[in-house]
Amino acid sequence: MSCFDLNAAEGSYWEQRRAPIEKLPTLQDLLACCNVDAFVRVVLDEHAARLCTPCGDDSSKRRRKKERRLACTLDSMKRMSIKRKCGRDRVLLPREFFISHEQMGLIERRVGVWLVHRADVPLARAVLEAHPDDPVEQGVSLPEHSLSLAPWEDALSSRVWLGGSWNLYERYLVLSSAFWEMTHFGFDRDCVAAAQARAKTKTPPEDTVVDGCLSVTVSDLRLRRATDFGLIVPDRFDEARRACFATRVARLNRAADLDLCCRIVDLDEGRGS
């Protein structure tokens, strides 16, 4: 198994890459190169923490137990037998996106992972040709493929491209995001496979958990119901503030999505920027 230096900066593999997509390292290759302690810390602090609120029994002993469990799962993924050819038609890329926190007036920047299939490349190219360079409120639509329902062997064979201005911590964020999606149903391979089979027969719920956050929050649901019942008291001052804030977040996300489309097209054309 090849090993690539995630700590390299100038002159790294990502700066020099000229190989075709199928020659890129797999997700398993890069997981095998990660510092285990750093990787587990990112998973706990950036992903698990978003699902769990601090509680009285969240002791150092409990954290060490979680760390051992995550390290064990990571080790099993490194050792798993995969078919490298199966992942030649899909690539994992860094994805930048922004989350709004209206009550505090804050915009949070996050870095995650985006799974691209070869069939998505013409769509990304069409997006770039159809939209102007200046970001506006209109969103960018690309097919979204989840790793949560993919067998671990298939996900681990996916190629990965981390080229660009991403720093070391952000590269770990991308890889840990893929790991976190893969372990959505648990940390044991057999249990995950059984849960995936059951999930595929069910209709996805209306409000799902995405990257540790509900896509529709409790306050959003209350607002939706109040609107349906005609009980919203107009507040033009607050509406203007919310509209301006939402527009700013939409502009940031659209610019980030257009950048993702650029990187998809560049990678397909061998530029890898």
Per-residue pLDDT, 91: 95
Which alpha helices (DSSP H) does 108-235 contain, by range? 121-130, 152-156, 168-182, 189-200, 218-228
Per-residue pLDDT, 195: 67
Task: Give the residue-averaged pLDDT of 126-134.
Answer: 72
Q: Is the pLDDT at 210 greater than 60, yes or no?
A: no
Per-residue pLDDT, 212: 38
Which strands, in side-by-side order, build the sheet including 159-160? 106-117, 90-101, 159-160
pLDDT class of 219 with cuts at 50, 70, 90: low
Cβ atoms within 10 Å of 19's Cβ, excluding its own? 12
Per-residue pLDDT, 67: 92
Give the span between the Cα atoms of 2 and 28, in whole angstroms.
10
Query: Tens digits of per-residue pLDDT, 157-176?
Result: 999 999 888 999 999 999 99
Give the span between the Cα atoms of 96 and 111, in whole angstroms.
5
Which of 24-28, 58-62, 186-190, 231-235 is predicted most confidently? 24-28
DSSP assignment, residue 150? S
Per-residue pLDDT, 159: 95
Give the span between the Cα atoms of 209 and 201, in whole angstroms.
18
Give the span between the Cα atoms of 203 and 162, in whole angstroms.
34
pLDDT class of 58 with cuts at 50, 70, 90: low
Q: Please, what is the end-to-end C-alpha distance for the chain in angstroms? A: 25
DSSP assignment, residue 230? T
